[in-house]
Amino acid sequence: MKTRDSDTVKTDTERTSSRILEILDVKGKVTETGAMTSPCSDYDSAEKIYRARHPWSIYKAPFADMKKGMDRLRVELPKDGWKIVKDGMDGTQGNSPQIIAESKGREFAVDVRLHKEVKAEDSPPLLEVTVESACYRSK
């Protein structure tokens, strides 16, 4: 397992997120969050093993545009060095379309879900993205 600087990993995770946003190419509002570091659940917390996570969403965009963004991911991620490991429904109550991909070398994973509008709950359509780094030992 690599020993890395947490700030560098967070920066790399945000850079990877920006690339996913470019590929999606959906014009809407994007939540303003930065990458966060959290302990890797696969390891004992005393070992100082972490991963960076960058969750964000696109909203206030037409559902059809978000769907096209998902289609672009299916085509462009493999060209960009990613392997799609899941492309189907997420199994939640809303059964949203989901793409999970891992970068070449498995430094990063991305989980993208497309949520439909739910009028009864006043919930607009949403494209939810989480980019996660591989686990690393903190310097």
CB atoms within 10 A of CB 139: 10
| CATH code for the domain in which residue 49 is found | 3.30.2030
Distance CA(80)–CA(102), nearest Å, equals: 11
pLDDT of residue 92: 85
> Are the C-beta atoms of 24 and 77 separated by less than 8 Å?
no
- pTM equals 0.91
Instruction: Supply the range of the domain harboring residue 102.
Output: 3-138
pLDDT of residue 84: 97
pLDDT of residue 51: 93
pLDDT of residue 42: 67
**Token pair listed for 114:** 């497309």
DSSP H or E stretch at residue 64: helix 63-79
Running along the chain, 139 residues long, what does each successive block of 10 average in pLDDT? 88 96 96 90 74 96 96 97 96 91 93 86 88 91
Token look-up 């945000």 returns 14
Provide the number of structural domains found in the chain: 1
